[in-house]
Amino acid sequence: MRVIAGSARGMRLAGPRGSTRPVSDRAREGLFASLGDRVVEARCLDLFAGTGALGIEALSRGAASCVFVERDPAAVRVIRENLERTRLAPLGRVIRATVQGHLRRGSHDRPDLVFLDPPYDHPEDDLRSVLGSVDDRLVRGGRFVLTRPKTGAIDVIPVNFQVERRLSYGDAVILVCREGR
pLDDT tens, the chain, 181 aa long: 888 888 888 888 887 666 666 677 788 888 999 999 999 999 999 999 989 999 999 999 999 999 999 999 999 999 999 999 999 999 999 999 999 888 888 666 789 999 998 887 788 888 888 888 887 788 888 888 988 887 765 666 767 788 888 888 888 888 888 876 5
Domains, the chain, ranges and CATH? 25-179 (3.40.50.150)
- Provide DSSP, 75-108: HHHHHHHHHHHTT-GGGEEEEES-HHHHHHTT-S
pTM beyond cutoff 0.85: yes
Say how many C-beta atoms besides its own lie within 10 A of residue 93's C-beta.
13
**Residue 65 phi, psi dihedral angles, 5° rounding:** -165, 165
Residue 57: its H or E element: helix 53-60
